[in-house]
A and B are shown apart, each in its own frame.
Chain A
Amino acid sequence: MKRLTALMLALVMMLSLLAGCSKDEETTTAAPTTAASGETTTAAGEVESDEPYGVFHNYLISDVDTINPHIYTMSDSGTIFGLISMGLYRYVPNETGDGFIFTTDLAESDPQQMDDEGKVWQIKILENAKWENGDAITIDDVIYSWQMCLDPILVNSRASQMASDYITIVNAKEYSLQGTENTVAWEDVGIKKVDDYTVELTVTDPVTALDVKSHLNYTWNRLVHKDTYEAYMNEDRSATTFGSTGDKFMSCGPFLLKEWIQGSQFTLVHNPDYVHADEYSLAGYEYRIVGDANTALELFLKGELDVVNVGADSIEQYIDDPRLQQSPASSIQCICVNMGNTENNGILGNVDFRKALYYAIDREAIAKMTNGIAANWTVPTKCIADLETGVTFRNMDESNAYIPANLGYDKELAKELYDKALAAVGLSELKLTLLYNEASANNKKIVEYLDKQLPEVFGDSFDLELMAATSNVCTEYRQGWRPDKKGDPNSYQLTIAGWNTSTTAPWNGLKVYSGTYTNKNEPYFNDEYDAIWNEANLGLEAKLDNAYRLDLTRQMEKITIDEAVTIPMYESPGNYLIADRIVLPSNGYIPGYGFGYALSSIVE
């Protein structure tokens, strides 16, 4: 009994201890919480047109990994870093709000071509830009940021994209990959300081000013603060924790990072010293991290979020809502076919079979259940053909001439092709496994639907087996055929995947089917296709003649469809509810740009 009493006593003590702590904390910190609420009331009290006003409440579905631009992997990290840092160029919505334009950020003007070919470019930067702590931003900051991105000891994951993307900087790749060997000096890299406010870039191939601007607009080419970056460097200079928490950072962009509570929220405030500060009318910008879709919706309905993504399950209740806005899908979801698979007498390598699959899919039904857009093409609807007019690639008549009618659904043709393929490889029945990532609710619906629909089209001789896995297991199988991975040609048969490709360069997005692309999903190799891709992306003629470039893009897309390189199914556009109080820079989604929340203003 005594022991029991002692136990109880201990429990009670623990309880009181806990209660005690919390009470103490409450008294000491009560002030800041009330102060915070007071702040919002005063802000709401008077509205002045010129002063930045209001906080935009956005959310993320998971925490970002880091705000170090050289090593981040999540797109949300890039978005946040973009708000609190500067680059040389940036893109903003155009006057009419139906497209965007590249404009200067830290740069004073467009890049100046210094030679005849277009290999040497000079950029002058503004002289009045400042860091959060008041230090002036000079060209040394720019060069330091780039040098660190390419640093051979740090081995940053973004180094290869810094070295070569729209433009390929001389010796940058060699410098960054030399390790400890010291074979390439920094002086040999095509990045030179001209004076305190001018930098000169030397590139390997002739490029245009737009290429330079596009390249320098990338998140990883933006500025990092030298002293902060150095302060958190480890002893052997192999890693820095710069950007891993809110303290280990220095802002200079349209907003200042005030607080980052890991796993919970980001608080950004207006930066009055930003060179284009007058374009931003928000006093603050906040991100909460909310993983559950229903929770986010509840928060929006209570006014705690200003925007919410409405999933396929809840959209029914909001189809009439005037607050509903749509953004185009980021990718086309396709069935990837492992055409190198040797099982089933190599039927997956048979073009007729792949075309049979292409024609067997009732995309309209799929679009209906996913609340998406049926897609039987390989260049997504979001892709813009002409930056100036904002015309999308899919809206051009020429781009639809070769796309099969009826969204590519033709039961009879599919059955015919299927029988032909079966006969060609000498099979009487066929059983295939479809691998999918069950985390995606849409994928789950679709595979269950296909499991039922495909045998209905192909007949009883066809059987589809479903196999769910986590996304990394899916990746493991999907890329298992690659020689640099497992090198097992039969690593998978069918799977579902989609590429999130560039909005502004449809010709670039088609790289995922080229033989030289390193992250291929399917073993498709076609020299003719590769030649067109190279011409469209690297050829100077294509760069100067947009119509020609688009024509090449159409040729590529036609090949992907004719040979059923992949089986496109649907695109799933995003549906968003945006609060009444938010005034967007344009009335809706700006192609290639987004809704432009950061540029919005708030009216109560």
Chain B
Amino acid sequence: MLNVYTPDNEKYNNIDKSKFVLVQAEKEIHDAKFETKAVGFFKDAAMRFIRSKISVVALIGILFILFLAIFGPGMNEYGYNDQNLDYINLPPKIPVLAEYGIFDGGRVLQNRRVDGLDDTSRYPEGCILRVFNEREVKGVKMCDIEVDYYKYAGIPEDVVFWFGSDYLGRDLWTRMWRGARVSLFIAFISVFVNVFIGIVYGAVAGYYGGKTDMIMMRITEIINAMPQLVVVTLFILFFGTGILSIILALVVQNWIGTARMIRAQFYRFKGSEYVLASRTLGVKDRVLIFRHILPNSIGPIITRAMMAIPGAIFTESFLAYIGLGIRAPESSIGVLLSQGQKVMQQYPNQVLFPAIMISILMISFNMLSNGLRDAFDPTQRGA
């Protein structure tokens, strides 16, 4: 027979109560103390982020572009709206590089009459670098020539445009960084608003489910059904062109994607055991949503937000392409790209530089978002 203590077991009733002593009455009861300082979620993430070199490089890249977007326009003597009709559509000329034959202000001019090449009023002395592709058209001798365009256009020696100039003789370097500033502003604001609305909306719909979800999702479908162009045109009709209309146009439908994604994430996690456990412990809905379930989605949210930034810049450039861009004479990446596309074969530099810049920016954002995502991923904690 097993000796088990029960209140009515006589065997134990006779023991003197004073014999019982609390073993740890004098000591504090606690777990073993942490040797190191506690690491918070964000600090932990930051540590992991720094460990990834490529993310740091990406961050530096973004900071570099941001730096140029802020200070670039002030780096030469031109203002973003300084016009000079004598300096229209010049090719890029960068003094140091020019000595090596790149960005030296050269350009090929096609279809020139051979007999007109000696005319110094049209071709100032020394401007023709190369004559090639001689041929005959309609009985006229024609050729292509390569010229030093700065000399050809009669531009003083000390005037240079690093990235060339546009159809009003404005400096493209200045306009590009000014444009980067505007575009990034539009993109950040709109993406921030989109993600914010998307998270709240998606979280509520996904968490509560049932009828709430049904109705909320149908509302998004209705909003999504209106063609973007119609929505934008109406905004412009009511608010005029400008940053406000463009941001509104970018916000009005684009949050829906985020909302759907967050909603799906909620469906995925709300049935998890830990959520169930928290709920049985009486944790409030609000806390469950934002504290317990949402952090699981931080990875996809960051990825999405980073992707949304080029998306916003493209939508802006599409609007510029169909003529509803930012208010002139302000510059933006979208305006430069869509203008550049139209003259891509004539003046490739006008689209090349903005495209390179946006690519660098996006590569950096991409790498950064990879780094951030890994850093924030709770499953990698401590790894």
Q: What residues of chain A have their CB less than 8 Å away from a CB belonging to chain B? A: 293-294, 297, 313-314, 316-323, 365, 368-369, 437-439, 441, 444-445, 447-449, 451-452, 466-470, 473, 476, 580
Give A448 to B240 CA distance when docked, in angstroms: 17
| Known contacts A323-B137, A369-B85; is-contact A441 B328 (Cβ 8 Å) | no
Give A448 to B323 CA distance when docked, in angstroms: 14
| Known contacts A469-B236, A580-B137; is-contact A449 B328 (Cβ 8 Å) | no
- Chain B residue numbers with a CB within 8 Å of A445 are 167-168
- Chain A residue numbers with a CB within 8 Å of B240 are 467
| Known contacts A323-B138, A469-B236; is-contact A452 B241 (Cβ 8 Å) | no
- Chain B residue numbers with a CB within 8 Å of A320 are 111-113, 116, 142
Q: Which 8 A-B pairs have the closest CB atoms?
A: A438-B323, A322-B138, A439-B323, A317-B110, A321-B111, A448-B329, A313-B343, A320-B113
- Chain A residue numbers with a CB within 8 Å of B109 are 316-317
- Cβ of A318 and Cβ of B111 under 8 Å apart? yes
- Chain B residue numbers with a CB within 8 Å of A321 are 111, 137, 142
Q: How far is the CB of B111 from chain A (nearest CB, A)?
A: 5
- Cβ of B346 and Cβ of A468 under 8 Å apart? no
Residue of A nearest to B232 (CB): A470
Question: Which residue from B83, B137, B236, B346 sits with its C-beta under 8 Å from A316?
Answer: B346
Question: Which residue from B113, B142, B328 sits with its C-beta under 8 Å from A448?
Answer: B328
| Known contacts A365-B85, A452-B81, A473-B237; is-contact A466 B328 (Cβ 8 Å) | yes
* B residues 307-350 touching A (CB-CB < 8 Å): 322-325, 327-329, 342-347
Residue of A nearest to B86 (CB): A368
Known: A313-B343, A316-B89, A473-B233. 6 other contacts (CB 8 A): A314-B346, A316-B109, A322-B137, A322-B139, A451-B329, A468-B328
- Chain B residue numbers with a CB within 8 Å of A441 are 342
- Cβ of A468 and Cβ of B324 under 8 Å apart? yes
The A/B interface has a contact count, at CB < 8 Å, of 99
- Cβ of B85 and Cβ of A368 under 8 Å apart? yes
Interface of A is mostly: helix
- Chain A residue numbers with a CB within 8 Å of B116 are 320
- Cβ of B168 and Cβ of A449 under 8 Å apart? yes
Residue of B nearest to A311 (CB): B342
- Cβ of B241 and Cβ of A322 under 8 Å apart? no
* B-side interface size class: 35 or more
- Cβ of B344 and Cβ of A294 under 8 Å apart? yes
Per-residue interface assignment for chain B, residues 100 to 123, with 1 indicating a CB less than 8 Å from any chain A CB and 0 otherwise: 000000000111110010000000
| Known contacts A322-B138, A323-B138, A468-B241; is-contact A452 B323 (Cβ 8 Å) | no
- Chain A residue numbers with a CB within 8 Å of B283 are none
B88 within 8 A of A: yes
- Cβ of B111 and Cβ of A470 under 8 Å apart? no
- Cβ of B168 and Cβ of A369 under 8 Å apart? yes
Per-residue interface assignment for chain B, residues 55 to 69, with 1 indicating a CB less than 8 Å from any chain A CB and 0 otherwise: 000000000000000
- Chain A residue numbers with a CB within 8 Å of B323 are 437-439, 468-470
- Chain A residue numbers with a CB within 8 Å of B140 are 322
Give A306 to B137 CA distance when docked, in angstroms: 15
Give A447 to B323 CA distance when docked, in angstroms: 14
- Cβ of B167 and Cβ of A369 under 8 Å apart? yes
| Known contacts A369-B168, A452-B81; is-contact A469 B329 (Cβ 8 Å) | no
- Chain B residue numbers with a CB within 8 Å of A448 are 81, 83, 168, 328-329
- Cβ of B111 and Cβ of A317 under 8 Å apart? yes
- Chain B residue numbers with a CB within 8 Å of A323 are 137-138
Q: How far is the CB of B375 from chain A (nearest CB, A)?
A: 31
- Chain B residue numbers with a CB within 8 Å of A447 are 328
- Chain A residue numbers with a CB within 8 Å of B327 are 466-468
Q: How far is the CB of A344 from chain B (nearest CB, A)?
A: 18
Residue of B nearest to A436 (CB): B328
Give A449 to B111 CA distance when docked, in angstroms: 30
| Known contacts A316-B346, A469-B241, A580-B138; is-contact A452 B329 (Cβ 8 Å) | yes
Give A449 to B240 CA distance when docked, in angstroms: 20
Instruction: Point out which of A320, A369, A444, A466 has the most chain B C-beta atoms below 10 A from its C-beta.
Output: A320
Q: How far is the CB of A539 from chain B (nearest CB, A)?
A: 44
Instruction: Point out which of A297, A319, A468 has the most chain B C-beta atoms below 10 A from its C-beta.
Output: A468
- Cβ of B346 and Cβ of A313 under 8 Å apart? yes
- Cβ of A438 and Cβ of B325 under 8 Å apart? yes
Give A368 to B324 CA distance when docked, in angstroms: 26
Give A313 to B339 CA distance when docked, in angstroms: 11
- Chain A residue numbers with a CB within 8 Å of B111 are 317-321
- Chain B residue numbers with a CB within 8 Å of A322 are 137-140, 142
Give A197 to B89 CA distance when docked, in angstroms: 62
* B residues 349-367 touching A (CB-CB < 8 Å): none
- Chain B residue numbers with a CB within 8 Å of A369 are 85, 88, 167-168
